[in-house]
Structure 1
Amino acid sequence: MKPPSAAELERRKIVSINAETVTDVTSTDYPGHYPGEDHVWDLETFRSGLRIEFHKNEPLEASFSVIGVDASIANAFRRIMIADVPTLAIETVFINNNTSVIQDEVLAHRLGLIPFKGGREGLHTFLKWKKKPAEGTDDNNLFDYNTVMLSLNVECTHNEDAAEGETDPNKLYRHASVYARDIVYEPIGRQGQYFSGDDIIAPVNPDILIAKLRPGQCIDLTMHMHKGVGSDHAKFSPVATASYRLLPTIDILKPILGPDAEKFARCFPRGVIALDKVTRQEAAQEGSGYEGHEGELKAVVADPMRDTVSRECLRHAEFEDKVKLGRRRDHFIYLIESSGQWDSDAIFLESIAHFKEKARKIEQQVINMVR
């Protein structure tokens, strides 16, 4: 067969968005392969088609595009970020005294969901996985390299310095509200070498509310924190959000001018469609559709990435056959919101390392199976 044309290659990359349906959504049995065509995998071809573009990169939030991969690869990165990147979380709570209105098991659950941060070297190099004790033994396998100890000891008392007639509990009492900053880290063994100063283990957000107390009530407990992954429990997941969407495509097939252009722009989120004036060159070009409209406003696509693909423009008769909507099936826009233990971009880089390790293990298993 003749190699596919550029137009055919472009068509294969687009999922069509119609007024009532979505078409061209199915892929082939082997992504990127078509009958009668040679699509043997080649590293240089893959490398030339792969691009990663960052749109926003902040410690707690990152947005970037991965271009040139199949949906299975893009989704693998997302699932690894959610379930396989390790963090620390409170696993065991030993309650000595709890006279607050919160039940022991609810209090323990709230403590387990508080994200903690610490020195990168200590968290990712020094601390190891805690192994489950052998069945029938009392050995808990608690060491400085697999267990972090914390304590919380707070009692609510009257504030003698409160103004007469004060009604705010936070001013009327001391420790009326128990926050994450009240949790105290107790280093053991060699942990002091890795977790001190700016690298000390502490809650990501010190203002997380744990409980409210009144005079005579107290909370006294100790906690063990271990390393874990999100596939074991959601409290270990390093991300608050890890999602992706396909890049929207907006093709204006026929000129949209004047008041119609302004209405067309209002059909999209702000910034997606811009209004430009028809230039003299465009008005003079035969067959452009702009003949005799020099100086009038025309609709142009400014930033399709802002579009939410609401299909609002397809509801109006004046835009029929003038616009075509779609999504590019090999352009994935990620949004990563870190819960604080990892920088948002570092989570993605760590997911790549985990993906490579999984591929290496599968390769070895295939080799063993062939042998």
Structure 2
Amino acid sequence: MSPKVSALDMPDVPMGQLPEHLHLQRTRVVCKADAPIHTEGIQYSGAYASIGVDNSVGVDSFCENFKVKLVRLTNDEIEFDMIGIDASLANAFRRILIAEVPTMAIEKVLMVNNTSVVADEVLAHRLGLIPLNADPRLFEYLSENDAPNERNTIVYKLDVSCKKGSPRVTVKSDQLKWLPHGSELQMDSHDISAKAKSYTSFSCIQDSLPEFSKKPLGVQFDDIIIAKLGPGQAIELEAHAVKGIGKIHAKWSPVATAWYRMLPEVSLLKEVTGDVAEKLVKKCPVNVFDIEDLGNGGKKAVVANPRACTLCRECIRGVTEELVELRRIKDHFIFTIESTGALSPEELFVEAVKILEDKCDRVISELS
């Protein structure tokens, strides 16, 4: 066994400060040519007590070090940096975004007529995956004991046909029409004297409500192909959308993707000049390195864009293996959210934070 290193063995390192190799092990994942090292997180609060470094995690230190930096924002996608958190927390946000932030999706399809080549079950599945332009925060969940009403259900109608002798018809998502007054279909009744009931129990028209009158409850994308009809074929149906979450079915997931990666850190261990510098720049497929002109024909390789590193490891294979070190910063995450359209990507992250906050409140209340 190797001897333990104490603070007395390192007189050049002041108390309360980690030596360079321990600081690297604590804060970086070093990516070697075969496999990464220092991947484990050092969680024990007294891990560096012998040299006067407190490794504990506290609320005050977390609030002081935690930062969020916006990098890129579009209508459908957001990229931002989360600094000062553990990978478990970043992964919690990812899982909540995928599985626990609610959206509206078509759950029930009442098929009136379908003579297309697409089977009823396949057609219903396709309809369920169409992103709806409806804010889920304005709706309530529909439980088994609840009746579908204007607060928990959106009704759409699809009625398309292709006449005989006509060219084929492409049925797209923009042909789904919102029915603000609820279902137009009547339930079958065995009692002749009883009045036929609708499949929904709307007490008022949805577009008369202030929250729904500003924006129609349509679909997010108008050009999604649902089916193709040949001459004489037709589709007539009614689709009911309800609120749900991704852990029940993927159609309720509000994100096309939500992922994160540790911030890359590319370090040149020695000065790389001449032909070796040229080889290093050519090795990288994403232009992480660049050439700096030293004058008089001299050239030097520099790290120009470390954030673009994809960890392909081409730069640490071959003649440049001893010149470059690839690292990942353990507490700095590049987070990307791509929305399906019901909520903007920045709103999705806010909703994920609220859900995580509710989870923490429940744990605290149970413990107390």
Tell me the TM-score range normalised by the shorter chain: 0.7 to 0.9
Give the 5 Å matches for 1:107-118. Answer: 107-118=123-134
Q: 1:326 aligns to what?
A: 327
Task: Find the aligned partners of 2:64 and 2:91 in 1 and give their Cα distance.
Answer: 21
Cα deviation, residue 320, structure 1:
3.4
CA gap 1:212/1:17 in 2 versus in 1, 3 angstroms: same
Q: One-letter code of the match for 1:124?
A: R
CA gap 1:231/1:32 in 2 versus in 1, 3 angstroms: farther
Greater mean alpha carbon deviation, residues 209-218 or residues 52-61: 52-61
Greater mean alpha carbon deviation, residues 229-238 or residues 51-60: 51-60
Cα deviation, residue 6, structure 1:
6.2
Q: One-letter code of the match for 1:338?
A: S
User: Contact 2:26–2:41 (CA<8 Å) still a contact in 1?
Assistant: no
CA shift digits 1:224-251 (9 cap, x unpaired) = 1001111111000000010111111111
Q: One-letter code of the match for 2:148?
A: L
Give the 5 Å matches for 1:105-254. Answer: 105-118=121-134, 120=135, 123-125=136-138, 127-133=139-145, 141-157=147-163, 173=167, 176-188=169-181, 189-192=204-207, 193=209, 194-196=211-213, 199-254=215-270
1:296 to 287, 295, 298: 298
Task: Find the aligned partners of 2:358 and 2:335 in 1 and give their Cα distance.
Answer: 22
Task: Find the aligned partners of 1:312 and 1:271 in 2 and give their Cα distance.
Answer: 12
User: Contact 2:164–2:232 (CA<8 Å) still a contact in 1?
Assistant: no
User: Contact 2:159–2:237 (CA<8 Å) still a contact in 1?
Assistant: yes
CA shift digits 1:310-329 (9 cap, x unpaired) = 11122222x13211111111
Q: 2:4 aligns to what?
A: none
Q: One-letter code of the match for 1:132?
A: E
Task: Find the aligned partners of 1:33 and 1:53 in 2 and give their Cα distance.
Answer: 31
Task: Find the aligned partners of 1:106 and 1:93 in 2 and give their Cα distance.
Answer: 11
Cα deviation, residue 190, structure 1:
4.8
Task: Find the aligned partners of 1:246 and 1:237 in 2 and give their Cα distance.
Answer: 24
Cα deviation, residue 35, structure 1:
5.2
CA gap 1:85/1:312 in 2 versus in 1, 3 angstroms: same
Task: Find the aligned partners of 1:23 and 1:6 in 2 and give their Cα distance.
Answer: 18
Task: Find the aligned partners of 2:44 and 2:283 in 1 and give their Cα distance.
Answer: 34
Task: Find the aligned partners of 1:93 and 1:209 in 2 and give their Cα distance.
Answer: 17
State whether structure 2 residue 350 is matched by structure 1 residue 357: no
CA shift digits 1:173-217 (9 cap, x unpaired) = 3x70000000010013252123245x1111111100000001110
Cα deviation, residue 360, structure 1:
0.5
**SS of equivalent residue, structure 2 residue 69:** strand
Task: Find the aligned partners of 2:218 and 2:44 in 1 and give their Cα distance.
Answer: 45
Task: Find the aligned partners of 2:141 and 2:231 in 1 and give their Cα distance.
Answer: 41
State whether structure 2 residue 318 is matched by structure 1 residue 316: yes
**SS of equivalent residue, structure 2 residue 141:** coil
User: Contact 1:115–1:204 (CA<8 Å) still a contact in 2?
Assistant: yes
Q: TM-score, normalised by structure 1?
A: 0.83
Aligned-residue Cα RMSD (Å) equals 1.9
**SS of equivalent residue, structure 2 residue 89:** helix
Task: Find the aligned partners of 1:49 and 1:178 in 2 and give their Cα distance.
Answer: 53
User: Contact 2:72–2:78 (CA<8 Å) still a contact in 1?
Assistant: yes
Q: 2:280 aligns to what?
A: 264
Task: Find the aligned partners of 2:19 and 2:337 in 1 and give their Cα distance.
Answer: 34
**SS of equivalent residue, structure 1 residue 117:** coil
CA shift digits 1:328-355 (9 cap, x unpaired) = 1111111211111111121111111111
Q: 2:18 aligns to what?
A: 5
User: Contact 2:281–2:301 (CA<8 Å) still a contact in 1?
Assistant: yes
Q: TM-score, normalised by structure 2?
A: 0.84
Ranges in structure 2 where 5+ consecutive residues have no aligned partner: 1-6, 8-14, 182-203
Task: Find the aligned partners of 1:76 and 1:33 in 2 and give their Cα distance.
Answer: 26
User: Contact 1:269–1:308 (CA<8 Å) still a contact in 2?
Assistant: no
CA gap 1:76/1:195 in 2 versus in 1, 3 angstroms: same
CA gap 1:35/1:261 in 2 versus in 1, 3 angstroms: closer
Task: Find the aligned partners of 2:94 and 2:32 in 1 and give their Cα distance.
Answer: 28
Cα deviation, residue 9, structure 1:
2.9
**SS of equivalent residue, structure 1 residue 44:** helix
Identity score, percent: 36
2:47 to 23, 30, 34: 34
User: Contact 2:264–2:328 (CA<8 Å) still a contact in 1?
Assistant: yes
**SS of equivalent residue, structure 1 residue 203:** coil
User: Contact 2:45–2:56 (CA<8 Å) still a contact in 1?
Assistant: no
**SS of equivalent residue, structure 2 residue 94:** helix
Aligned length: 327
